[in-house]
Structure 1
Amino acid sequence: MGNTPNSEGRARRLSAQLGSAAAGGEGAYQAPYKRKNEPFNFGPEFSAEIPSIVKQSSEDEGFRIRASTITERPGDHVTANKLPTVFKWEGGTAKEVYLSGSFNNWQTKIPLVKSQDHFYTIVDLPEGEHQYQFIVDGKWQVNAKEPTAQNNMGTSNNVLQVKSSDFEVFEALAMDIAESSQTKEHTQSEVSERLRNRSGSPPGRYTSQVPTGRQAGPHRAPPVLPQQLLQVILNRPTDSRYDPNLLPEPDHVMLNHLYALSIKDGVVVLSTIHRYRKKFVTTVMYKPCD
């Protein structure tokens, strides 16, 4: 087939871009040499700024930016073809971080989202080995903490091995959630059935007869008063060394109790002792007995 006007225009624009890049000097981008029948899996050979030929990827190209709140259920993105893979760049001083690799033929850059001091993104990748690099503030860099490998051109790239066996935990979580939902529904149905079958009154025999015998007998006598409470200050004579208008300091076991004196001359006497910080207050109440 012959070249159309549109294809010729695109070819002229591409050659103009490459010619202007070659005139820029050492920092300009040069397309890597590709041998015949050689797979295109090698990365860039420079650490200069991002060339104009590398474009930014979008949502339409199959890449997902890491969201601040994950609403998907486990196993939603685990498919037979592509698996969700997390990429992380550690560095709080960086302003913009992008990702590019063999999975997109080094032709697009995927933006990473900053969370606190690190950058993250999630890319759905097929199984196999993938090489990638980060573009940090316009410069190609590799993560020294991740495995690296050299491509056919001698350039070091980070390497990642994606295996479906690493994502079995997501499938297990999805199965556990499904089983838990079924168990919860079954338990709720059992409880509802028990409530319907349960009567409104406790089980047992009911009668109108008054119980007799031991059940109707008197209750046991109240417990014996502790010996400490028998030493009531008001029942003891005041020592001559104390001020007659002041009572001696009571014990702590005497506090917050109500004392009653035997009825005499038709009067009931009640007393109680309270403490406020280091002071003790004794209150005596007299009430005529009707």
Structure 2
Amino acid sequence: MGNTSSERAGMGQEKAHRRDSRGTKEGDRPKILMDSPEDADIFHGEDIKAPLEKEEFIEWRPDLETSEKVPALDRPTVFRWTGAGKEVYISGSFNNWTNKIPLIRSQNNFVAIVDLPEGEHQYKFFVDGQWTHDPTEPVVTNQLGTVNNIIQVKKTDFEVFDALMVDSQKCSDMSDLSSSPPGPYHQDAYVPKQEEKFKSPPILPPHLLQVILNKDTGISVSIYKRHRICVVNMTGLIIMLSFYEMI
């Protein structure tokens, strides 16, 4: 009996110790999580960062949308009226049919150049006070039954002109560059340095040392008198001219 009671007492102490230890572990864990802000960030870090990333994406998205919206360029479009008439005007959906644009008379027709945005446009001619359309050009009938001419302005139709414009801009940029070498320029006369001057006149070439004019040819006196050679006076001026030509 004594052993049994002692064993029960020992088992009770072990159970109590286990409860205390279990209670300490379970009780200390929430205390650490609640008291330490760093531990709380471990579990809620992703939830905190997610709204920040969303805000940054929302702030960045309008910039992306604005950068994608590039204003369309107006394209010069030629309108031509080949029929008869004294005064010809044009109007269309591109100006909401509010005003009439005059056409300039050429030799055989009337011409006008209007800058239109890309897309589809309806137009009509006003010839000598009457509205009419050009039957040789594409037409369309609206809901009211009115027949209008139609034109499609495409970007691809002007790619050649855009390329030529880019080339002309590059050529104009290159023309701004001077072909002269770099460095300062002035209008002062060039003064040669002392070491560039010749200290003595140049040496006479060897073929000018032997002058054959006005010299005896070695012929006998009789023959020399009969066949006298015309003697040319070798002046200093002729020698100097010959020397100048050799230089």
TM-score of Structure 1 vs Structure 2, range by shorter chain: 0.3 to 0.5
Question: Which is bigger in relative contact order (C-alpha 8 A, separation at least 6)?
Answer: 1
Question: In proportion to residue count, which structure has more strand?
Answer: 1
TM-score by length of 1: 0.37
Question: In proportion to residue count, which structure has more helix?
Answer: 2
TM-score by length of 2: 0.42
